[in-house]
A and B are shown apart, each in its own frame.
Chain A
């Protein structure tokens, strides 16, 4: 203790940051800020734009959903076609999310914890589905599994159906939601580095133990958000699924396709009732994102203090 040139208590205070961190004095702040009327105008214009383009459409979904009353709303949701569409949507999400989750963890482990050549190429390829139009994502499965496609005749001879059936819908959903979990995990695991994993390794942990006890707990919030986002996208996908579904009511309709059918039938209240389910899912996704970001920021702040 006495060998230290500075007493420990003072060290702790100096490290605690806020006391010595340079804060912009009030006078300087005036010089690098705008007059109040400019601030108010900018805030006003920004909020007006967001209200017009974001808030009003969101509110409209719920208002239109209940426009014809609770009975119509309830009838639209319990209609047998709606229920089977909901089931199919859940099936597609329950299959595609775990697949993309395993891929996301594997890709993030390889990219985040190791240095190897070709990493940036791999990163670009993972982003590829983002830049492919959903319609084209559906088209590629028609070209492979459709009747005129590569395996079309073979599949027909063996009495297997992929497009215009559930497997095609699942495949298209997997493609469209492919990058979401990987994109959440990779930057975080890259930023966290590998010291903790190396320490665990030196202490004798196996690879799976490191993954379960060190890596995954460190990224749990990003992982959760990735899963939620992937799930929201899987349940809401429209273009790709529309191409491969064949629109068979009660069989190959997902919730977004069911919305389209109702809307084109002029059953607006029913269409918005089903849409309100998906809009609620979107809101849950945003709330979780908010929580995850706050947790991530809190743990980051806690780390930078110590």
Chain B
């Protein structure tokens, strides 16, 4: 009874609320919350000075620059092409459209290690794609960008697509009758409507890219200061049994991830408001 008062549950005739919520919360605590708190508790055992030294050492800072930079660029490319792909999938008809639509989710379903070795082989200097390019892609920061673009693609398409589908054609017709060109209609009517979803998709792709490991380590070449991502640095520290160092870097990445999660929630609330739901 006390949990009901605490949670202010609205009355319902359906049974099983306490059991279901109790189990869900317990499971959530044991699998997610308590283990995650270990990271923060472990950091408290590290002195502030050591923590700052670890997370600002040149090699770590170089890895932030690569991870955040490549993730940002990949998310940006995905925002542009994701919008284009969702536009084409919603508005136009072409042969094989359903197949293409279904395959957009491939990066969700394909294990990252598989994506990693496939992209590395393709973009290697003797690979199908790499041999046509005048510059190296595999084993350079550019390779990191390619891998992160691959894994982030579905996020933008799948957030923008439903909004485009729901867009009222009447608004575009009104714009046309008022003399707007098609480009003006897109810039002033359609784009503002999909903007919140586009930003959400961008943030989701960015967040996913920050933590990515499997697909990147194969293609990156993993040279310290040049093509080493932060996730790999955590693993390197762990392999040297430097748990405190690994945890310190992990906390920085976790805080960045949680900040993004908060931003995404705010964006989605904004998007719902804009859609009038």
Contacts and interface: CB of A to CB of B under 8 A. Distances in A.
Interface of A: 24, 28, 31-34, 39, 42-43, 45-47, 49-50, 52-58, 60-61, 64, 99, 102-103, 106-107, 109-110, 113-118, 122, 124-129, 131-136, 139-144, 146, 148-150, 174-175, 178, 194, 197-198, 201-202, 206-207, 210-211, 229, 232, 235-239, 242-243, 255-257, 259-260, 263, 268, 271-272, 275, 278-279, 281-283, 285-287, 289-290
Chain B interface secondary structure, helix, strand, loop or mixed? helix
Contacts of A198: 13-14
Contact of A54 (B16, B23, B153, B185): B153
Interface stretch (B27-35, B47-55, B56-64, B193-201): B27-35
B149 A194 contact: no
A294 to B, nearest CB: 10
A224 B24 CA distance: 20
B187 interface: no
A282 B106 contact: yes
A123 B61 CA distance: 33
B223 interface: no
A239 B213 contact: yes
A49 B12 CA distance: 51
B225 interface: no
A242 B129 contact: no
Given A116-B8, A148-B243, A55 B27 contact: no
Which of A133, A142, A149, A174 gathers the greatest number of chain B CB atoms within 10 Å? Answer: A133
A256 B111 contact: yes
A281 to B, nearest CB: 8
A46 B122 contact: no
A210 B12 CA distance: 14
Nearest to A264: B218
B46 interface: no
A65 to B, nearest CB: 10
B115 A175 contact: no
